[in-house]
Structure 1
Amino acid sequence: MNKEVIIEKINDFLIDEFEVEAEDLSPEANLKEALELDSLDFVDLVVAVEANFGVKLVGEDFIKILTLQDFYDLIENKLS
């Protein structure tokens, strides 16, 4: 799966399942603040990633995740 497909799938489920506005989905957006994700949303995010990509995320995966670009990169690395 190439990076563009990963980004598209992530953006799609953020818009559909987390009601994030498409214009808020820039790579430099702070994942937690700009997207207004709380701790329960992160649990839902883990479930959405597993459903869409078949990879499991754990709490430690999010330690270095600040931006949406970091999140895209995390998923890309987990898939490779």
Structure 2
Amino acid sequence: MNEAEIREALWQELGNIAPEMDLRQLDPSANLREALDIDSMDFLNFVTAIHRRLGVDIPELDYPKLGTLDGAVNYLKVKLRR
């Protein structure tokens, strides 16, 4: 899976959580919880959706690495190479 495909998957899953947001305008370095005004349960739902969709195990200690769009893309690129 390439970077564009990962980013598209993230946008789609974030769109399920924050459908009112224009995710294409999201600053990729912005904190997702703040930029999308989502709470910790929404963020957990996002992480769970990514796990299910991409089949990537994401330990709780790694959740902060998914805090921005760029961070999530970089994290998942590494995990999907294995």
Q: TM-score, normalised by structure 2?
A: 0.79
Secondary structure in structure 2 of the residue aligned to 1:75: helix
One-letter amino acid of the counterpart of residue 71, structure 1: A
One-letter amino acid of the counterpart of residue 41, structure 2: L
What is residue 62 of structure 2 aligned with on the other side?
61
Cα deviation digits, residues 11-69 of structure 1 (max 9, x gap)? 01111x11241244331221221122211112211210112100121221123444221
* Contact 1:46-1:56 at 8 Å conserved across structures: no
What is residue 53 of structure 2 aligned with on the other side?
52
Which segments of structure 1 move beyond 4 Å, counting only runs of 4 or more?
Answer: none
- Identity score, percent: 34
Secondary structure in structure 1 of the residue aligned to 2:73: helix
Secondary structure in structure 1 of the residue aligned to 2:34: coil
What is residue 73 of structure 2 aligned with on the other side?
72
- Higher helix proportion, which one? 2
Structure 1: 5+ residue stretches without partners: none
